[in-house]
């Protein structure tokens, strides 16, 4: 497991990270999300030793992350660190040898990743002759060429076309399946939702949410989407005292509700039907994007993986 323990960092008077604790289990892909300036890149640089924390520590499988451990990690920075005029295969071999591979092993690894990422025909091309998307693939290959023990990727999907995104997500899943922890940052929340096992949300240097996608989106939270011509102001007071419902939003004629338990569902149906026609009732969960907006709006009200209701009504 790759873990950040109580990491804090200041630049002058500005606190960039404030007691950040994050765990990336082996075999898991963790999406690291937050607005610009939230502290994602700084914390990743601390993991890789590019920046130094004012407080806290980083461990891999319980051992402190030192220079030797970092040499076995793969890092893809947001600002690319490749050589524009060097041939693609040549520089992958160069990076592999820097990480301790023999010349023969470095050549084999470079060829494998160029083939795996669809760049075999460009192996002899200077990097600057490639499209930005293909340069991104080469940067990923440079992070993988030495078979790392952990992967830390800063905005790896930026600028990629859909086919390249599919290839990269497959590769990250393959790496996780071989047992390594994978941490990547992204602003593409739909991509994070379908790719990641866990998601961590950073705001203002503090971790404000951390959980599986199902936990964060409340897949087991007894949420339903309801459409009816009845006004909630009429049917909510009509609910019996044993039925507990929170109205979370009202939009486009639909109401999303959260029940205390599925046993309250029939009471909800009966109350709505007494005041109008029930046109639709189905299980519902918010997208990760919706959850993220709620979290960023009111981080102080978030506990664990719960989300903030937009509008609340309580039967009495």
* Domains along the chain with CATH numbers: 2-214 (3.40.50.300), 218-301 (3.30.70)
pLDDT band at 300 (very low <50, low <70, confident <90, very high): very low
Q: For the ranges 81-85, 130-134, 232-236, 255-259, which has the lowest average pLDDT?
A: 255-259
**Contact residues for 78 (Cβ-Cβ < 8 A; gap 6+):** 41, 154, 155, 158, 185
Share of residues in the chain with pLDDT > 70 (%): 88
Instruction: Tell me the per-residue pLDDT of 7-34, one tens digit each, with 9 for 90 and over.
Output: 999 999 999 999 999 999 999 999 999 9
Mean of the per-residue pLDDT values of the chain: 86
**Contact residues for 60 (Cβ-Cβ < 8 A; gap 6+):** 1, 2, 3, 69, 73, 149, 150, 181
Answer for the pair 137, 119: CB distance below 8 angstroms, yes or no. Answer: yes
Read off the tokens for 12: 């002058």
pLDDT at 130 over 50: yes
pLDDT at 42 over 80: yes
Considering the entire predicted model, what is its pTM? 0.77
pLDDT band at 81 (very low <50, low <70, confident <90, very high): confident
At 313 the pLDDT is 36
Give the mean pLDDT of 104-123. Answer: 95
Q: Quote the CA–CA distance of 108 and 167 in Å, as a whole number.
A: 20
pLDDT band at 240 (very low <50, low <70, confident <90, very high): low
Q: For the ranges 131-145, 188-202, 243-257, 267-281, which has the lowest average pLDDT?
A: 243-257
pLDDT band at 82 (very low <50, low <70, confident <90, very high): very high
pLDDT band at 70 (very low <50, low <70, confident <90, very high): very high
pLDDT at 261 over 50: yes
Half-sphere exposure of 70 (CA within 13 A, CB side): 15
Q: For the ranges 24-28, 194-198, 296-300, which has the lowest average pLDDT?
A: 296-300
**Contact residues for 72 (Cβ-Cβ < 8 A; gap 6+):** 99, 146, 148, 149, 150
pLDDT at 87 over 70: yes
Give the mean pLDDT of 91-116. Answer: 96
Read off the tokens for 157: 């999907």
pLDDT at 243 over 70: no
Answer for the pair 251, 311: CB distance below 8 angstroms, yes or no. Answer: no
Distances (CA, A) of 307 to 60, 149, 185: 31, 34, 21
Answer for the pair 154, 41: CB distance below 8 angstroms, yes or no. Answer: yes
pLDDT at 285 over 60: yes
Strand partners, 230: none
């Amino acid at each position: 497991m790759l873990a950040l323990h109580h990491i804090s960092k200041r630049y002058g008077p500005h606190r960039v990270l404030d007691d950040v604790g994050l765990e990336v289990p082996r075999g898991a892909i963790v999406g690291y999300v937050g607005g610009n300036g939230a502290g994602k890149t700084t914390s990743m640089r601390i993991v890789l030793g590019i920046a130094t924390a004012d407080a806290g520590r980083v461990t891999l499988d319980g051992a402190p992350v030192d220079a030797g451990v970092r040499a076995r990690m793969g890092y893809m920075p947001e600002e690319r660190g490749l050589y524009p005029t060097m041939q693609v295969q040549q520089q992958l071999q160069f990076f592999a040898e820097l990480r301790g591979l023999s010349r023969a092993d470095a050549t084999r690894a470079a060829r494998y990743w160029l083939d795996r990422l669809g760049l075999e025909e460009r192996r002899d091309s200077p990097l600057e002759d490639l499209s930005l998307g293909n340069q991104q693939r080469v940067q990923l290959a440079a992070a993988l060429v030495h078979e790392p023990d952990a992967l830390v990727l800063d905005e790896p999907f930026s600028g990629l076309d859909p086919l390249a995104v599919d290839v990269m997500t497959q590769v990250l899943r393959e790496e996780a399946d071989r047992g390594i922890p994978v941490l990547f940052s992204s602003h593409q929340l739909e991509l994070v939702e379908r790719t990641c096992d866990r998601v961590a949300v950073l705001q203002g240097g503090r971790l404000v949410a951390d959980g599986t996608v199902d936990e964060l989106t409340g897949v087991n939270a007894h949420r339903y989407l309801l459409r009816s011509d009845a006004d909630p102001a009429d049917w909510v007071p009509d609910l019996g005292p044993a039925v507990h419902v929170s109205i979370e939003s009202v939009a486009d004629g639909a109401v999303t509700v959260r029940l205390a338990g599925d046993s309250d569902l029939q009471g909800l149906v009966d109350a709505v039907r007494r005041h109008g026609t029930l046109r639709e009732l189905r299980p519902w969960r918010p997208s990760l994007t919706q959850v993220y907006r709620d979290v960023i709006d009111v981080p102080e009200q978030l506990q664990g993986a719960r989300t903030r209701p937009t509008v609340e009504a309580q039967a009495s």
